[in-house]
Chains A and B, each alone.
Chain A
Amino acid sequence: MREFFRQARYVVAENPVTGVAFALFLVFVVVALFGPALAPHSPLASNTAEALHPPDAQHWFGTDQLGRDVFSRIVVATRLDLGIAAGAVALAFVFGTGMGLAAGFFGGWADRIIGRLTDTIMAFPLFVLAMGIVAAMGNTVTNIIYATAIINLPLYARLARAEANIRRDAGYVEAARLAGNSEIRIVVAHILPNIMPLMVVQASLTLGYAILNAAGLSFIGLGVRPPTAEWGIMVAEGASSIVSGEWWEALFPGLALMLAVFCFNLLGDGLRDVIDPRNRT
């Protein structure tokens, strides 16, 4: 663990952008954990007298059509948006990696079945597939997580399959077999740790994508329902008032989305440097 932190410090010193991403990530995590306590106003309390109030000292990001504080809503929504993304990515990571390892390492029937399954998922435009799943199963938070996980699954399965397949005949796999390791142990103890850096980078990149996807679903009305605070809904609600000059209602949640995606994309590169021992020189 101590080595991990030493490595992390080295990577940040080498590449300050990674440091920014890590800092941003920490901010997002803190806001997600303590959001409701940090918000200056209630995210749901409407006050029509103050509707569409531009940003000022009282309401930093202004208020929306119902007079709710945009800043508070963005802060409170962080937990929901990150939660959906994290849940979906965790599911896709575990199942996708498992399937990919099985397909890539054992080949044969496992490969054929898993390969066709991912092909089937990839055959649809992914966002449309997510829309379909949520529309069919009902728009609850759980279903949004499942839908986002399913459209992310092929990305993990394919990457894990390709990487496991390359390493199937590697010298150290043969050596592990000759040292008396079972096939399962070889996959878990030797192949998986070797492809982990790639999978973690993938996870970080898809985390941004998952946030966009969840927000997108809410934006078109298939995701979380109003009046819940959620970035996608807020952008959708604010979109109509941009033309009349009230830009703040849509801009700030949009910025939050952009920052989150930006953060996870940068984080991916940084994480790879920290995890992969080959970079420790």
Chain B
Amino acid sequence: MTSLLTVEDLSIEFRTRSGTVRAIEHAGFQVHPGETLAMVGESGSGKSVTCLAIMGILDAAGRVTSGRIAFRGRDLLHEREACLREIRGRDIAMIFQNPRTALNPIRTAGQQIADVLIQHAGLTPGAARQRAVEMLGQVRIPDPERRARAYPFELSGGMCQRVMIAMALSCQPALLIADEPTTGLDVTTQAVIMELIDEIARTERTATLLITHDLALASEHADRIAVMHAGHVVETAPTQELLVKPRHPYTQSLIAATPGPAAALADLAAIPGSLPDLRREDLPSCRYSERCGRHDKACDAPLSPRLLADNHSVACRHPL
């Protein structure tokens, strides 16, 4: 299967006053047309930075030091800014974790959706407004005609996220990047929003890159999962396989730390230690080694992900 988005050997550094942060190192993954890939990892593991790099809007302090990001065969890292602007919003769309702040407070929901349509689909303002109302209906906002005239502060958080989704999907993008789309919402709204993303992605054949720290959420909605730790993609596998047969010690600990319906709270195992300081000069080649029970001398040798089986790769000297 040819992939829609291929990230290869991506490394990103941030120059800061207190040293160079090697935020992403040799990361690689693929997103196939129509599938949902979940990227799971704790805070600071580099999930969002990877997204920003794909969209080409890294902070000025950030620098891509190696790698390739190919979208439909085009190398996004070497594309002209004008071309990237075309792709953003039209071919790759993104929704964020805080929908309230991501909407312009003084423009109505309808106007903001129409803006995207005017810019990318070349619609006239009248047609764009019409289509914006249809989009609001499609994300199941009741009374879309009236809601299109509402300002963000007049809408609930879940409603704002639906507007964001409507905006993101208005141009029928090939890839939707959802960066923690439900973190700011309450649990019941979370489920509804995720189902909505699922359903629209299925009917529109949109591929989804779901960024989350919630393994349970990822396991429910993703076809495949890529686990990130401290800027490394440590394991990539189809969801079922990853959950049943994790090969990387970190993945295993992550699963053990995820509350399930049956497990008592006391049974949850916290992962010892925390992410290593990414500014350190002497970062071990396996960045999990200092938290890992299986660590030995062999772990210090340079490491690259190995393909264990079809579709299942892991970056570990001593896989489970």
Contact = CB atoms under 8 A, between A and B. Distances in A.
* B is bound to A: yes
B220 interface: no
Interface in A30-54: none
Interface string B114-141: 0110011000000000000000000000
Nearest to B57: A177
A180 B104 contact: no
A175 B112 CA distance: 11
Nearest to A197: B106
Nearest to B91: A180
B105 A180 contact: no
Given A175-B96, A180-B89, A194 B105 contact: yes
Interface string A257-272: 0000000000000000
Interface residues of A, number: 20
B119 A181 contact: yes
A180 B101 contact: no
A170 B88 CA distance: 18
A280 B151 CA distance: 9
A172 B104 contact: yes
B307 interface: no
A104 B55 CA distance: 24
A103 to B, nearest CB: 17
A175 B106 CA distance: 15
A245 B164 CA distance: 71
Contact of A171 (B55, B86, B98): B98
Contacts of A119: none
B103 A172 contact: yes
Interface string B46-90: 000000000101000000000000000000000000001111111
Contacts of B89: 178-180
B103 A179 contact: no
B106 A180 contact: no
Contacts of B306: none
Interface string A226-248: 00000000000000000000000
Give 4 closest A-B pairs by Cβ, nearest first: A171-B101, A179-B89, A180-B89, A171-B102
